[in-house]
Amino acid sequence: MGTPIDPRHRRDRCITVYGRRGVLEALADRSLDVVEVIVATGSGAVGRDVTRAARERGVALREESAHRVSLISGNGRQDQGVVADVVAPAMRPLGQALDALAREPDRSARLLVVDGVTTPANLGLILRSATAAGVDGIVLPRRGTAELGPQVIKASAGTAWRAPVLRAPDAPAALSSLTDAGFAVVGMDARASTSLFDVELPPRVALLLGGEHAGASPEAAAYVHTWTSIPMAGPVESLNVACAATLVAFEVARRG
């Protein structure tokens, strides 16, 4: 049976997958905790296949209208009338993580904050690299970034399920909370004169990664204490945000 989770907190604890393949793969993976499967009325063979798999797994199952399912999936063109909420065990609200840190004032914390990364492939690679490097958390806003769904999971090679994701309403709200909690905010900008390899990283630091085209939003940039860049030896203006995130994450790991 799936783990009971208060519906009010489900979006901060679960990833919603949709479509026949995505839902069946989640149900077949016994290491994943599927909370609930929702099937649209009249979803045909796809709905029957998913219903059968959910019942065999003992997962909670309910039927909704196709319109309701499309609202839940956020992608009515591709959900095929089936969605599932799957627990991401390392995912939690940012506020919960900050409450835990408040009880351990001497504990260091190195976080990445994603602002405006809208390409699922980039977001998936960021989650994969940051998790591999062992960062303490990836702050992922619900607004202004790519949906944490099947495309991101695929790009992350499945790492998204177990990435230390910290959910927040948006990047400015997250940075406000982090600043109040004593974090220094270091922003990545190709025009900054201070190298990533020289910049001071305090024990509690949030590194801000802006979007693919516009960089960090002005509202998020207002919280930055220091700007830094990745030095370029060749005739390259800047790196793709996913590449930059990889370097940032492993530089943080190198410093320990």
> How much is the pLDDT for 20?
93
β-strand 82-87 against 14-18: which pairing, if any?
A: antiparallel
Q: Would the pLDDT of 181 be above 80?
A: yes
Q: Would the pLDDT of 2 be above 60?
A: no
Q: Where in the chain is the domain with CATH 3.30.1330.30?
A: 7-87
> How much is the pLDDT for 155?
94
Long-range contacts of 71-80 (CB under 8 A, 24+ apart): 72/16, 72/38, 73/16, 73/18, 74/16, 74/147, 74/149, 75/18, 75/147, 75/149, 78/18, 78/19, 79/18, 79/19, 80/18, 80/19, 80/20, 80/43, 80/46
- Please provide the CATH number assigned to the domain covering 92-255: 3.40.1280.10
> How much is the pLDDT for 91?
95
Please compute, for residue 221, the number of CA atoms within 13 A of its CA located in the half-sphere on the CB side.
12
> How much is the pLDDT for 215?
85
Q: Would the pLDDT of 201 be above 60?
A: yes
In angstroms, the CA 53 to CA 40 distance is: 15
Instruction: Give the percent of the chain with pLDDT over 70.
Output: 96
Q: Where in the chain is the domain with CATH 3.40.1280.10?
A: 92-255
- What does the pLDDT look like over 40-92, one tens digit per residue? 999 999 999 999 999 999 999 999 999 999 999 988 888 999 999 999 999 99
β-strand 92-93 against 109-114: which pairing, if any?
A: unpaired
Average pLDDT over residues 161-165: 95
> How much is the pLDDT for 3?
55
What is the band of 19 on the pLDDT scale with cuts at 50, 70, 90?
Answer: very high
Task: Please state, as a whole number, how many other Cβ atoms lie within 10 Å of the Cβ of residue 218.
Answer: 9
Lowest-pLDDT range of 81-85, 128-132, 137-141, 230-234: 230-234
CA-wise closest residue to 15 among 161, 195, 196: 161
Residues 6+ apart with CB under 8 A from 23: 17, 37, 50, 53, 82, 83, 84
Average pLDDT over residues 106-135: 96
Place of tokens 């949709």: 18
At position 150, the amino acid (one-letter code) is P
Q: Would the pLDDT of 132 be above 70?
A: yes
- Output the pTM of the full model: 0.88
What's the whole-number average pLDDT of the chain?
92
| 100: phi then psi, degrees, rounded to nearest 5 | -65, -40
- Please provide the CATH number assigned to the domain covering 7-87: 3.30.1330.30
Average pLDDT over residues 117-121: 94
> How much is the pLDDT for 8?
61
